[in-house]
Amino acid sequence: MEKFKDECGIVAVSMKNHIDVAELVFFGLSGLQHRGQQSVGLAVASGGVISCYKDTGLVTEVLDEKILTLLKGDMALGHVKYGPETESFQIFAQPLVINYKNGSIAVAFNGALTNGKALRGQMEDNGVIFSTKTDCEVVAALVARHDKGDIGVALKEMMKEVKGGYAVGVMTQDAIIGARDPLGIRPLALGKINGGYALASESCAFDMMEGDFVRDIKPGEIVIIKNDDLHSINTIDTATTTPKRAMCSFEYVYFARPDSIIDGKDVYKVRETAGKTLAMESPANADIVLGVPDSGTPAAIGYSLGAGIPFRQGLIKNKYIGRTFIQPTKLQREIGVRIKLNPIKSIVEGKSVVLVDDSIVRGTTMRKIISSIKGVGAKEVHLRICSPPIRYSCFFGVDTPDIKDFIASDHTIDEIRDELGADSLAFISTEGLLSSLGGSASSSIEGTGYCTGCFCGSYPLDVD
């Protein structure tokens, strides 16, 4: 794994008297494909009946025209998933549909519960049977247990029991519900489409559905959409609790699409600002600035603006190398990165280059990129990374490798520089990243708190 992988994306739409909302969710999920490429699922509700289709694969592979023709309803809940290899089976795809005493519900989940195993064990001791090891199934079981006829109350009781970073989408036979964890670690947004409402992990999904972004779901908020009406429940008692926020800072570094707005922050502008900050913190004497496409490009443009060094598109990405691309022979493995990212000789030859990327996890790919740039004649490569060194695992819904595989976990900056073959190396400081976000770590100030656990090892929640 050369980048962290976010595990899920959620899209839900409710439009009274419209039976083709599944097509809208299809487009919304396509806009969130970057959040998960392992499996796709879509559930629809029509006439009090919930139907669901899900499978492993990409959105366009799973939800083809034939399937969408069969999924008719005026409410729909969709999900894209990325997870560990052990969950590369259809049974782990979401939404999860369960039948219980009050009817049926579909549940889609993004994030991770820090007490999920404990809750599962308690319910298993009481006779509850689970078919997977997913936190989604724990959430679904808790909602069903607490549903006494008021789904809002059931969600509120569930949120009292679970701990972690999460966003949840629930579809009953007559309503769509969204909920976000009390610290707002994982994102969830509200939109409007032709008089109806929509929920999505990122605002870019509303653009794909030709809808409008309304606002972010607040930390600890539950929204219930029924008959095109919206009802909000705040689960945080502000009279006795000082609200805190700890939005995942890595959403802005890498996970989110640059055309999204999360918690009032334009993701592209944050990355560009971080690039400018990095240029001020760690200048380099160079001729041109290159970005590692696509995620490193906004930061590279920011670095160029901050340093006054021209930005050039000197790395070309092959957009047709899909997720199933394999490298069976030694030669193919050696040139695999060159196939995906090829430097333009006429741009880099004889130049001192600043190479900007969003993050480094293992460093294997970066080593090959630097080698390929020098291989076409670059005099120097000064590597600049627009996140602090990643040294710790995430426990709130991001699939991360073993900590021993992080190059920064047991190497100094100089050792990483030498390992990668760069002429110089610098990471943005944690303070610089937070200043680009206009906030601080786990702040109690409204809207300014961010989780930086993967950088510093200090988490907003206990992770025992």
Assign 3-class secondary structure to the chain.
Answer: CCCCEECEEEEEEECCCCCEHHHHHHHHHHHCHHHCCCEEEEEEEECCEEEEEEEECCHHHHCCHHHHHHCCECEEEEEEECCCHHHCCHHHCCCEEEEECCEEEEEEEEEEECCHHHHHHHHHHCCCCCCCCCHHHHHHHHHHHHCCCCHHHHHHHHHHHCCEEEEEEEECCCCEEEEECCCCCCCCEEEEECCEEEEECCCHHHHHCCCEEEEECCCCEEEEEECCEEEEEECCCCCCCCCCCCEEHHHHHHHCCCCCEECCEEHHHHHHHHHHHHHHHCCCCCCEEEECCCCCHHHHHHHHHHHCCCECCCEEECCCCCCCCCCCCHHHHHHHHHHHEEECHHHHCCCEEEEEECCCCCCHHHHHHHHHHHHCCCCEEEEEECCCCCCCCCCCCEECCCHHHCCCCCCCHHHHHHHHCCCEEEECCHHHHHHHHCCEECCCCCCCEEECHHHHCCCCCCCC
Active-site choice (8, 136, 248, 451): 8
8 in catalytic set: yes
Active site residues: 8
